[in-house]
Amino acid sequence: MSARRAFALAAAMVAAVSGCSAGTGPKPSPTTSVSAVPGPHDDAFFVPPATPADAKPGELIWARPISGLQNSYGYDILYWSTTVDDTLVATSGLVFWPAQEANGPRPIVAWAHGTAGLGDQCAPSKWDFDQPGMARSVAASVIRSGGVFVASDYEGLGPPGEHPYIVGHSAGRNVLDSIRAATELTGLEVSASVAFGESQGGGAALFAAELAPTYAPDVGLDGAVAVAPPADLTGLMTHLDGSPYFGYTLMAINGIATAYPEAAALQADLGAEGKAALAKVKGLCSDIVLTEYAGKRGTDFGVGAILNSAVFRERLAENEPGKQKTSVPVLLVHGEADDTVPVSGTRELLADYCAIGVSVTAKFVPGKGHANTTSNALPQIVDYINARLAGTPPPPPACP
């Protein structure tokens, strides 16, 4: 096992998800020094300074203490990541790690959140730890097991700028750079790291795995877990048309346009209703988007020309996982009754990974949908994470 430590995550995480409180009592006063400039109060925290000429991806801009989990140090962080065209961009997130002194290297679990929305107020670090949820359960379990928890908000959520929703090449970088930032903040030696996400975050975790060997070889990512990842994006757009989840389509149009100027140009020919809907969605969180646009179709807003254009489809295809071989082991998890992101996309993704030689395993959960697959498959997920963090060789690929 060399410098790696066993990481007994399972019992703690199962307890957290089954209803045991993570605790919201006072956070211990930090007795360790952190390597970060103190960040401003209130929303000024999310407004970055001018980009220094020598700034690097994953470098901290500043941090500020937060509470939310017992027996831990917690910090909001602002750090540098990069856009799809390699421009440095300030990205926010949060980090928790145990208050007890480290006796050796600690593992890091990077959480990749599901769809939150497009408005800056939707950034999960601004609200996700105010109430029970999967992110808080994962964080509490990681802390109890002696590890470091880090969660990126992703580019454009929190700090100024638009969020390139569904652009995996952006979110994957954000996740990898969050691990770098957490390492700088804590000053702790890292034993191993895993990316774990669901829905949009499942895609982010997969792109972190695919990009890690070239974009962040210093991170040394040891595994990725993706629950219900949006894999077949073109097929997903068709599936969402007229469904309760059509709002995701409007968000995707904005997200692709944010990352790629030639896709943004497609919106110039939209009618007033289409332009108004896309402009409105940019300022909303996902719960409101889904409610307002449930059951709508592309024809209602005249966006069919965008969805069917070669430019849009090419950029969607570029942000589908499974095209880049990676040395990082991957676990795919999907509920067979998922009516939001069809399981067929993950089955195709499994075949794609197998075809290019990725060390991939999969669990398809009968009768479970988009919202309850993670909790149902948790024992298998945590076993997989534990094994990767302990340095155990991955299981044989689950290839047809």
Residues 6+ apart with CB under 8 A from 124: 113, 116, 135, 151, 153, 157
* 67 band by pLDDT with thresholds 50, 70 and 90: confident
d(CA 227, CA 134): 12
pLDDT score at 70? 87
Give CATH for domain 10-231+324-389: 3.40.50.1820
Instruction: List where CATH 3.40.50.1820 sits in the chain.
Output: 10-231+324-389
d(CA 373, CA 336): 9
Percent of the chain past pLDDT 90, that is, above it, reads: 84
Q: In the predicted model, is pLDDT for residue 29 greater than 60? A: no
pLDDT digits (tens, 9 = 90+) for 346-398: 999 999 999 999 999 999 999 999 999 999 999 999 999 999 999 999 999 98
Query: Three-state SS string across 8-44, please?
Result: CCHHHHHHHHCCCCCCCCCCCCCCCCCCCCECCCHHH
Closest CA to 287 of 161, 178, 131, 79: 131
Q: How far is CA 210 from each of CA 175, 328, 373, rounded to the nearest angstrom?
A: 12, 7, 24
pLDDT score at 8? 54
As a whole number, mean pLDDT of residues 198-210 equals 98
d(CA 45, CA 39): 6
Contact between residue 153 and residue 106 where contact means Cβ atoms under 8 Å apart:
no
pLDDT digits (tens, 9 = 90+) for 41-61: 889 999 999 999 999 999 999
d(CA 346, CA 231): 6
Contact between residue 108 and residue 148 where contact means Cβ atoms under 8 Å apart:
yes
pLDDT score at 103? 86
Tell me the pLDDT of the chain averaged across its residues.
91
Q: What is the pTM of this model?
A: 0.93
Better-scored residue on pLDDT, 130 or 99 = 99
As a whole number, mean pLDDT of residues 272-284 equals 97
* 20 band by pLDDT with thresholds 50, 70 and 90: very low
Q: How many CA atoms lie within 13 A of 259 on its CB side?
A: 28
As a whole number, mean pLDDT of residues 259-287 equals 97
Amino acid at 197: G
Buried b (16+ CB within 10 A) or exposed e, 303-323: beebbeeeebbebbebbbbbe
Q: In the predicted model, is pLDDT for residue 13 greater than 80? A: no
* 17 band by pLDDT with thresholds 50, 70 and 90: very low
Instruction: List where CATH 1.10.260.130 sits in the chain.
Output: 233-317
Amino acid at 42: D
pLDDT score at 68? 80
Percent of the chain past pLDDT 70, that is, above it, reads: 91
Contact between residue 143 and residue 71 where contact means Cβ atoms under 8 Å apart:
yes
Closest CA to 327 of 173, 207, 221: 221
Q: How many CA atoms lie within 13 A of 144 on its CB side?
A: 20
d(CA 92, CA 389): 25
Better-scored residue on pLDDT, 3 or 269 = 269
Buried b (16+ CB within 10 A) or exposed e, 261-287: eebbebbeebeeebbebbeebbebbbe
Whether the CA torsion 136, 142, 148, 152 is positive or negative: it is negative
Tracing tokens 């990749």 back to the chain, one arrives at 112
Please, what CATH class does the domain formed by 233-317 belong to? mainly alpha
* 31 band by pLDDT with thresholds 50, 70 and 90: very low
pLDDT score at 33? 56
